[in-house]
Amino acid sequence: MQAIVETLFDALYLITVIAIGGLMIRNSKGECQFRLFGWMAVVLGAGDAFHLVPRAIALCTTGLENYTVPLGVGKCITSVTMTIFYVLLYYVWRKRYRINGRGALTVAVYVLAGVRIGLCMMPQNRWLSAEAPLSWGIYRNIPFAMLGLLVIVLFYRSAKEQGDKAFRWMWLTIVLSFGFYIPVVLWADAIPLIGMLMIPKTCAYVWTVLIGYFAMKKECK
């Protein structure tokens, strides 16, 4: 039963975000912020597919324990693409609110993203092992959480200052995604049921994508 429900949920999620991303790229009508948002959604879905597709195959066949390597590779790729997702979201913020300059802020974004990706590439993560160390799961997610917090603050302040109703909840979607994700990183190995938090985390990302899509539909007539 878990295999069927989880596979259907993941398939619906991947199809939804990639399809919406494609629509935004095609229908952005020259609006750079929405074209960026579309690519952001495609990166999100395509990156997650590297982990979710092997997981679905494993659940529907011989079990997760027999797919350690493809699942590990997929998890590593997803970790990198999620970092790129937030860098793109930062540029969506810059384009939407017409931010010029702020070079130090851009440097901070790239430094955090670079450190995160660099940590993901370290062999100590043991991506291909069934016994990946929790410590490295924490290390690589520290700069990722800092990057997420930075983007949260930027969207919260700008949407509030400019009365941007379309993006007024963008910050909350990111807060929710991290709020559901962090317990999984910390305790899912010890308490497997906590892994179920990935479902509302995924829903938070769908909400993020929908915010951009509905804003485009309203503003690009």
pLDDT tens profile 127-168: 998 888 989 999 999 999 999 999 999 999 999 999 999 999
Residue 84 pLDDT grade (very low, low, confident, very high; cuts 50, 70, 90): very high
- Looking at residue 186, what is its pLDDT? 86
pTM higher than 0.85, yes or no? yes
Are 214 and 27 in contact, with CB atoms under 8 Å apart? no
Note the CATH architecture for domain 2-219.
Answer: Up-down Bundle (1.20)
Rounded distance between C-alpha atoms, residue 118 and residue 132, angstroms? 17
Which amino acid, one-letter code, is at 219? E
- Tell me the backbone φ, ψ of residue 137, rounded to 5 degrees: -65, -35
Tell me the mean pLDDT in the region 105-134. Answer: 94
In the chain, where are the structural domains located?
Answer: 2-219
Average pLDDT, whole number, for the chain? 92
Task: Give the percent of the chain with pLDDT over 90.
Answer: 75
Give me 74's structure tokens.
């997929």
Q: Is the pLDDT of residue 221 over 70?
A: no
